[in-house]
């Protein structure tokens, strides 16, 4: 009693045992359920990766088809969710809208509070993966003042998402398959990342045994922050502010003086090149072949080159992370910056749910309740207001 370790930010404290994702930050390795991210990004699909994360193993043909069918079947949301979303301010940030509407889903599926029944848990997991693109796309259309587009279940997961975002007429929307594939790869890269801030939020809230919608909504809240998922949006704003290659040295000096951070650089775990950033760089080329090159790419590449040769970054082992190049692709796909983190959230949903599932099935897990080191006063004597004033 009374004995504890002071570890703000949990830099050295394992909060759980997990078999979902493995990272070796020194070597730049990332594996989902033992499979290297490079192989999954190259040859799998986002929904297959989602299955892998949730169920712990790759699906056979029948399992995969059933999984894709179930998720496709549940893409629609209750009409009252639409009414709920229409109540947001016209300029509400889509992440705020997503967070609130995911939390609201628990009221539409009250049975989700029964977290001990495996079938019931699976139902909510399928629903959440299925509905996240619908909610994300509607948040986007809301900010644009455009009518919400209902899901088209003839399309794939990613194509349907693009259709709900960008469809402008009654005609069927047919996205460029290369762009849909690129987005699918980006979703795979974001699908899980072990005990990051938002996974920890999901687990922490989930440890109270609340329903999974409330837990995932907490994860979305954590992801919203600029040091976590919000970094990709911040990278784009930073690149735009730098404006041209000539301004980079001055900007880097400012970073080294502590005026600001080089967004999209550095990671709590990776002390080497983030393996996801490498794959994203390749995806950049594939997307730009279709859309034309984003002019900010030149600034990003030069910034990376200068930073990787600079002692400040070398000595602190600061390398580009997943967010450094992803925003450039999102922009080329016509997403406004405030949608970038929504894309991250859609990709991360299976990971949050896999972490949540592991938590609620772990007999050793207790309600999250860290200790503190109290630094305030003790035993003061209270003086009533009339005597104090
Ligand atoms: N630019 C400049 N200096 C940096 C940066 C950066 N991006 N990141 C870390 N440092 C410095 C930091 O100031 C500190 O220097 P010193 O030792 O002189 O005080 C040193 O490097 C160690 O940094 P830290 O803040 O102790 O590292 P952390 O593990 O607590 O933070 C981080 C990790 C990702 C929050 C941080 O690197 C950062 O803020 N990066 C920019 C934001 C960003 O790109 N976030 C996306 C992370 S990846 C996707 C995700 O997980 O959501």
Q: Are residues 138 and 273 in the same domain?
A: no
Is residue 371 in a domain? no
Q: Are residues 280 and 355 in the same domain?
A: no
HEC states along the chain?
Answer: CCCCCCCCCCCCCCCCCCCCEEEECCCCEEEECCEEHHHHHHHCCHHHHHHHHHHCCCCCHHHHHHHHHHHHHCCCCCHHHHHHHHCCCCCCCHHHHHHHHHHHHHHHCHHHHCCCCHHHHHHHHHHHHHHHHHHHHHHHHHHHCCCCCCCCCCCCHHHHHHHHHHCCCCCCCCCCHHHHHHHHHHHHHHCCCCCCHHHHHHHHHHCCCCCHHHHHHHHHHHHHCCCCCCHHHHHHHHHHHHCCHHHHHHHHHHHHCCCCCCCCECCCCCCCCCHHHHHHHHHHHHHHHHHCCCCHHHHHHHHHHHHHCCHHHHHCCCCECCHHHHHHHHHHCCCCHHHHHHHHHHHHHHHHHHHHHHHHHCCCCCCCCCCCCCCCCCCCCCCCHHHHC
Is residue 382 in a domain? no
* Confidence at residue 293, expressed as pLDDT on a 0 to 100 scale: 86
- Closest residue by CA, ligand 1 atom 38: 266
Contact 296, 329 (CB under 8 A): no
Lining residues, ligand 1, CB within 6 Å: 196, 227-229, 231, 255, 261-268, 316, 318, 321-323
Report how far residue 315's alpha carbon sits from residue 318's, in angstroms, rounded to the nearest whole number.
8
**Ligand 1: which atom is nearest the Cα of residue 235?**
44
* Confidence at residue 350, expressed as pLDDT on a 0 to 100 scale: 98
Q: Are residues 66 and 144 in the same domain?
A: yes
* Confidence at residue 1, expressed as pLDDT on a 0 to 100 scale: 58
Is residue 246 in a domain? yes
* Confidence at residue 152, expressed as pLDDT on a 0 to 100 scale: 95
The boundaries of the domain holding residue 302 are: 238-332
- Closest residue by CA, ligand 1 atom 31: 268
**Ligand 1: which atom is nearest the Cα of residue 228?**
52
* Confidence at residue 231, expressed as pLDDT on a 0 to 100 scale: 86
Q: In the annotation, is 323 catalytic?
A: yes
Q: In the annotation, is 362 catalytic?
A: no
Q: What are phi and psi of 261, to 5 degrees?
A: -100, 155
What CATH number is given to the structural domain containing 295? 1.10.230.10
Q: Are residues 218 and 143 in the same domain?
A: yes
Q: Are residues 97 and 220 in the same domain?
A: yes
* Confidence at residue 226, expressed as pLDDT on a 0 to 100 scale: 85
Is residue 342 in a domain? no
What CATH number is given to the structural domain containing 182? 1.10.580.10
Q: Which ipTM value was assigned to this complex?
A: 0.96
Is residue 185 in a domain? yes
Q: Are residues 207 and 251 in the same domain?
A: no
Q: Which residues touch 21 (CB under 8 Å, ≥6 apart)? A: 30, 31, 32, 33, 53, 192, 193, 194, 351
* Confidence at residue 174, expressed as pLDDT on a 0 to 100 scale: 86
Q: Which residue has the tokens 């003042």?
A: 145
Global pTM? 0.92
Report how far residue 310's alpha carbon sits from residue 305's, in angstroms, rounded to the nearest whole number.
9
Is residue 137 in a domain? yes
Write down the catalytic residue from 267, 274, 285, 377: 267
4 CA to centre of ligand 1 in angstroms: 26
Is residue 387 in a domain? no
Q: Are residues 199 and 249 in the same domain?
A: no
Q: Are residues 285 and 328 in the same domain?
A: yes
Q: How many domains does the chain have?
A: 2
Q: Are residues 70 and 186 in the same domain?
A: yes
For a mutational test of ligand 1's pocket, the pick from 242, 266, 280, 343, i.e. the residue with the most ligand atoms closer than 8 A to its C-beta, is 266
382 CA to centre of ligand 1 in angstroms: 43
Q: Are residues 160 and 70 in the same domain?
A: yes
Residue 14: strand pairing partners: none
Please, what are the averages of pLDDT over each run of 10 residues along the chain (389 residues)? 85 95 95 98 98 98 98 98 95 95 97 96 98 97 93 96 92 89 96 97 97 98 90 90 95 96 92 91 90 89 94 95 90 90 96 98 93 95 96
Is residue 190 in a domain? yes
Q: Are residues 176 and 262 in the same domain?
A: no
Q: Are residues 87 and 213 in the same domain?
A: yes
Tell which residue, 132, 61, 73, 47, has the closest CA to residue 97. 132
């Amino acid at each position: 009693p009374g004995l504890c370790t002071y570890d703000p930010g949990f830099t050295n404290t394992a909060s759980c045992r997990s078999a979902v994702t493995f990272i070796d930050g020194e070597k730049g390795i990332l594996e989902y359920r033992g499979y290297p991210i490079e192989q999954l990004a190259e040859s799998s699909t986002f929904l297959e990766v989602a299955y892998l994360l949730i169920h712990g193993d790759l699906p056979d043909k029948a399992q995969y088809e059933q999984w894709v069918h179930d998720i496709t079947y549940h893409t629609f949301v209750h009409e009252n969710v639409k009414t709920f979303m229409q109540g947001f301010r016209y300029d509400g940030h889509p992440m705020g809208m997503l967070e609130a509407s995911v939390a609201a889903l628990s009221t539409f599926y009250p049975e989700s509070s029964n977290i001990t029944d495996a079938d019931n848990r699976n139902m909510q997991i399928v629903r959440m993966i299925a509905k996240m693109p619908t909610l994300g796309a509607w948040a986007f259309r809301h900010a644009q003042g455009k009518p919400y587009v209902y899901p088209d279940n003839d399309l794939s997961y990613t194509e349907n998402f693009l259709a709900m975002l960008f469809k402008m007429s009654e005609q069927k929307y047919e996205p460029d398959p290369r762009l849909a594939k690129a987005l699918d790869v980006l979703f795979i890269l974001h699908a899980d990342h072990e005990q990051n801030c938002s996974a920890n939020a999901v687990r922490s809230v989930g440890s109270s045994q609340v329903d999974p919608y409330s837990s995932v909504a907490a994860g979305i809240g954590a992801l919203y922050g600029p040091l976590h998922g919000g970094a990709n949006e911040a990278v784009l704003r930073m690149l735009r502010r730098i404006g041209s290659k000539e301004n980079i040295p001055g900007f880097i000096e400012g970073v080294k003086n502590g005026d600001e951070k080089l967004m999209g650089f550095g990671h709590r775990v990776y002390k080497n090149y983030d393996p996801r950033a490498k794959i994203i760089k390749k995806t950049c080329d594939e997307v730009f072949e279709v859309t034309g090159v984003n002019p900010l790419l030149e600034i990003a590449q030069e910034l990376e080159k200068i930073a990787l040769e600079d002692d400040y970054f070398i000595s602190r082992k600061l390398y580009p992370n997943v967010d450094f190049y992803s925003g450039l692709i999102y922009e080329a796909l016509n997403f406004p910056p405030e949608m970038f983190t929504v894309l991250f959230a859609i990709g991360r949903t299976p990971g949050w749910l896999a972490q949540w599932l592991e938590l609620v099935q772990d007999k050793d897990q207790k309600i999250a309740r860290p200790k503190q080191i109290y630094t305030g006063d003790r035993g003061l004597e209270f003086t009533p207001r009339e005597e104090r004033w």
